[in-house]
A and B are shown apart, each in its own frame.
Chain A
Amino acid sequence: MVQRLQTIAAPPARVVLFGSSGFIASALARALAREKIEHRAISSREIDLLRPASVKQIQAELRPDDALVVTSALTPDKGRDVSTLMKNLQMAQHLAEALQGSACAHLIYISSDAVYGSRETLIRESSALEPRDLYGLMHVAREQIIAATAERTSIPVCIVRPCAIYGAGDTHNSYGPNRFLRAAMRERKITLFGAGDETRDHVYIEDVAHLLILCLKHRCAGTINAASGAAVPFRAVASIITDLVGDDVEVEHVPASGAVTHRHFDVTERIRVFPDFTPTPLAEGIAESLRRLTEPQRD
């Protein structure tokens, strides 16, 4: 599903990063800086992919030996409606138009595990694309738009589908480690739906950034999930956090609205492509997130 076009790791000449103010792009920019890889982070304030003018701006920006990483998207917290869907597709349209007239060496598109359905017990890259909402549908459509453009322009494309990402700097407040951490610190309380039996795969933001660096250095083409491979129940996440934050944090259970669901990832493809990559264990990642969250307060 994913292959290294560059067997021996080598940094790209430059990485152009769209959506630079987001959670993933910020972490990637830090990782690129650590790796001393030249990069240019572009936020929507500089080039707004929603505007038609962005086509020419992108073309003026891109160099033939650039690797382009696209993280730009209006996430569900900005809207789950048709209007948001259409805006996201418009962004992809402008990007596609720009790429028709301006080559780059490699393109990484950050998609989402929202492209998958809920029927499969073990999700892998070859799992059926069955989005359950417009956000998932948006990523499916954007993947197709970008893949079709890349085929016409012969740009190798890597689609990265992260599962639930956690870590300091998350701008969302989804049910899971980030929300639990904030709630534990501020309210001394974590609220779980039901018994918290539902299992999810939570991937650490720094691992996602590391994986992206590997994809860039090996000029990977294809599709890869960014997941840890170890799904855990939400109650286990809560337990890790109460151990870290303090015994006085209350774990509250409220009635769950739907059936208990689970989401596991088969990470064999990642192991095959990057056998020396090992994800951060959840407890370690949460401890690190907590440390980063509390550091500024100490300052």
Chain B
Amino acid sequence: MIGFIGLSHLGLNYSLATAARGFDVLAYDADPALTARCSAGEFPIEEPGFAELFAQHRGRIRYSSAAAELSACDLVFYSLDVRTNERNESDLGPLSALVDATAPHLAGGSVAVVLSQVAPGYMRNLCRRLRSRSAAAFYYQVETLIFGRAVERAMEPERFIVGAADPAVALPPQLNRWHEAFGCPVLVMRFESAELAKIAINCFLVSSVATTNTLAELCERIGADWEEIAPALRLDKRIGPHAYLGPGLGIAGGNLERDLVTVQALAAQHGTDAAVVAAWQSNSRYRRDWALRQVHAHVLSQNPKPRLAFWGLAYKQDTHSVKNSPAVALAESLGAFEKIAYDPQVKSLSRCVPNLSIAASALDACTNADALIIMTPWREFRGVDPAILRRALRGDVIIDPFRLLDRTACVASGFAPHQLGC
């Protein structure tokens, strides 16, 4: 039996993927209301393929809030997502409390793997702290789930990065069996390296995002087109076909931002140069406001009381998360103006955005609007016929950072599209 402790986004996806790989799974959370909902097939997350996978493998997964049941597991994963505050700093308190509460229930000879997003140093300290209180051997494993692609990433990982107190010691057999079920390379390293490896991955992603956005903006000014340049970069072996080369509105979602803040804290503590991180953050903030500058230049400077249609509120497609969402930031900056938003998954916002109403459909949001602003690249927005929009929109401005609409068709329908990278 394999246990998962903590059923936030990370735990729900990994526990289901483990069941789908043929293991019997005990999915534990201290919240009985949550485990009852999960048992009934009602989950607090939206991920493509999740519901289907659950329907196929629900016989192998059991949701429980009884910590004592964890003693039946020879392998458990701590899978609670670590939340961040408004400064993107991790709050490791809930994870530590969860470990403290459940570690005494783990059986002798069992293995505990922390999947949660921890900072370098956390695991070594944890092991020191638990030495006399838990019979389990602790490991760390880097998680690289992506909101909106979590099921795919959990089922088909590129590799496992495992942190161990002593990487020279062979991994325990129950952990090896779990790894083998996924058939991907396993890299074992000391705790500190694994903890920093996760941050390193995210730093490289951010550097790609920042570089892409910096050069895409230049394209906008000098008449180049980033879409023509990106394929050349993808064919370069040093950059690669899967590099983050799509211009966007900066980094969002919280995870990447968290790791940048962690690097800055470590650099400050140890006296290393992390000025580039501040530059990435600055670039991200600047890029996030691209749409605001476009709205000001093309709408507000000509129309003092515009009605603005928003497509998308989530920070990216295939998620309901609005953490650090550029769409929400834009809506807040445009507080005084009338805004009608449509998002396939976000139907309300936890904090009040003045003069924002939610439309029932994408087209409803456009009715009599002076401009359409497409802030999340949902699939259903891609390729919408501008001729249909022409009948709904009052104005002719379309702000389409992700180039979801065909530029030529937009122009043919009398729109002035404003897109990133060209």
User: What's the least CB distance linking A153 to chain B, in Å?
Assistant: 28
Instruction: Judge whether A126 is part of the interface by a CB distance below 8 angstroms.
Output: yes
Given A275-B334, A275-B337, A276-B336, check contact A268 B304 (CB 8 Å): no
Instruction: Judge whether B338 is part of the interface by a CB distance below 8 angstroms.
Output: no
Contact call B289/A272, Cβ cutoff below 8 A: yes
Instruction: Judge whether B132 is part of the interface by a CB distance below 8 angstroms.
Output: no
Specify the main secondary structure of chain B where it touches its partner.
helix
User: What's the least CB distance linking B145 to chain A, in Å?
Assistant: 32
Residues of B within 8 A of A288 (CB): none
Q: Which residue of B lies closest to A126 (CB)?
A: B282
Instruction: Judge whether A271 is part of the interface by a CB distance below 8 angstroms.
Output: yes
Instruction: Judge whether B348 is part of the interface by a CB distance below 8 angstroms.
Output: no
Report the 10 A-B pairs with minimum CB-CB distance, sorted nearest first. Answer: A278-B301, A268-B289, A271-B296, A272-B333, A275-B300, A271-B292, A276-B304, A268-B293, A275-B296, A275-B334
User: What's the least CB distance linking A60 to chain B, in Å?
Assistant: 40
Within B33-78, the residues touching A (CB, 8 Å) are none
Report Cα–Cα, A296/B117, bound state, in Å: 70
Instruction: Judge whether A97 is part of the interface by a CB distance below 8 angstroms.
Output: no
Instruction: Judge whether B204 is part of the interface by a CB distance below 8 angstroms.
Output: no
Instruction: Judge whether A170 is part of the interface by a CB distance below 8 angstroms.
Output: no
Contact call B282/A275, Cβ cutoff below 8 A: no
Q: Which residue of A lies closest to B282 (CB)?
A: A126
Task: Bin the interface of chain B by size.
Answer: 10 to 19
Report Cα–Cα, A122/B337, bound state, in Å: 28
User: What's the least CB distance linking A278 to chain B, in Å?
Assistant: 4
Q: Which residue of B lies closest to A278 (CB)?
A: B301
Report Cα–Cα, A126/B334, bound state, in Å: 22
User: What's the least CB distance linking B377 to chain A, in Å?
Assistant: 22
Report Cα–Cα, A266/B286, bound state, in Å: 9
Within B274-289, the residues touching A (CB, 8 Å) are 282, 286, 289
Q: How many A-B residue pairs have CB under 8 A?
A: 31
- Interface size for A (C-beta < 8 A) is 11
Taking a contact as CB atoms closer than 8 A, the residue among A268, A272, A275 that contacts B286 in the complex is: A268
Residues of A within 8 A of B301 (CB): 278
Q: Which residue of A lies closest to B332 (CB)?
A: A272
Chain A positions 273 through 294: 1 when the CB is less than 8 Å from some CB of chain B, otherwise 0: 0011010000000000000000
User: What's the least CB distance linking B260 to chain A, in Å?
Assistant: 16
User: What's the least CB distance linking A128 to chain B, in Å?
Assistant: 10
Contact call A268/B300, Cβ cutoff below 8 A: no
Within A67-96, the residues touching B (CB, 8 Å) are none
Contact call A271/B293, Cβ cutoff below 8 A: yes
Specify the main secondary structure of chain A where it touches its partner.
loop
Contact call A272/B282, Cβ cutoff below 8 A: no
User: What's the least CB distance linking B324 to chain A, in Å?
Assistant: 16
Kindly list 18 other residue pairs between chains A and B, CB separation below 8 angstroms, not including A275-B295, A275-B300, A276-B304.
A122-B286, A124-B286, A126-B282, A266-B286, A268-B286, A271-B289, A271-B292, A271-B293, A271-B333, A272-B333, A275-B292, A275-B296, A275-B333, A275-B334, A275-B336, A275-B337, A276-B336, A278-B301
Report Cα–Cα, A272/B292, bound state, in Å: 8
Contact call A276/B300, Cβ cutoff below 8 A: yes
Report Cα–Cα, A204/B251, bound state, in Å: 35
Residues of A within 8 A of B337 (CB): 275
Q: Which residue of B lies closest to A120 (CB)?
A: B282
Would you list 26 pairs from A and B whose C-beta atoms are within 8 A, ordered by A residue?
Answer: A122-B286, A124-B286, A266-B286, A267-B293, A268-B286, A268-B289, A268-B292, A268-B293, A271-B289, A271-B292, A271-B293, A271-B296, A271-B333, A272-B289, A272-B292, A275-B292, A275-B295, A275-B296, A275-B300, A275-B334, A275-B336, A275-B337, A276-B304, A276-B336, A278-B296, A278-B300
Residues of B within 8 A of A267 (CB): 293
Q: Which residue of B lies closest to A281 (CB)?
A: B301
Report Cα–Cα, A272/B289, bound state, in Å: 9
Residues of B within 8 A of A275 (CB): 292, 295-296, 300, 333-334, 336-337
Residues of A within 8 A of B334 (CB): 275
User: What's the least CB distance linking A240 to chain B, in Å?
Assistant: 20
Within A103-144, the residues touching B (CB, 8 Å) are 122, 124, 126
Residues of A within 8 A of B296 (CB): 271, 275, 278
Report Cα–Cα, A268/B293, bound state, in Å: 7
Residues of B within 8 A of A122 (CB): 286
Q: Which residue of B lies closest to A279 (CB)?
A: B301
Residues of B within 8 A of A124 (CB): 286
Report Cα–Cα, A295/B229, bound state, in Å: 54
Q: Which residue of A lies closest to B295 (CB)?
A: A275
Residues of A within 8 A of B295 (CB): 275
Residues of A within 8 A of B333 (CB): 271-272, 275
Within A203-255, the residues touching B (CB, 8 Å) are none
Report Cα–Cα, A126/B295, bound state, in Å: 23
Which of A122, A124, A271, A278 has most B Cβ within 10 Å? A271
Report Cα–Cα, A268/B250, bound state, in Å: 15
Report Cα–Cα, A275/B292, bound state, in Å: 9
Residues of A within 8 A of B286 (CB): 122, 124, 266, 268
Within B251-301, the residues touching A (CB, 8 Å) are 282, 286, 289, 292-293, 295-296, 300-301
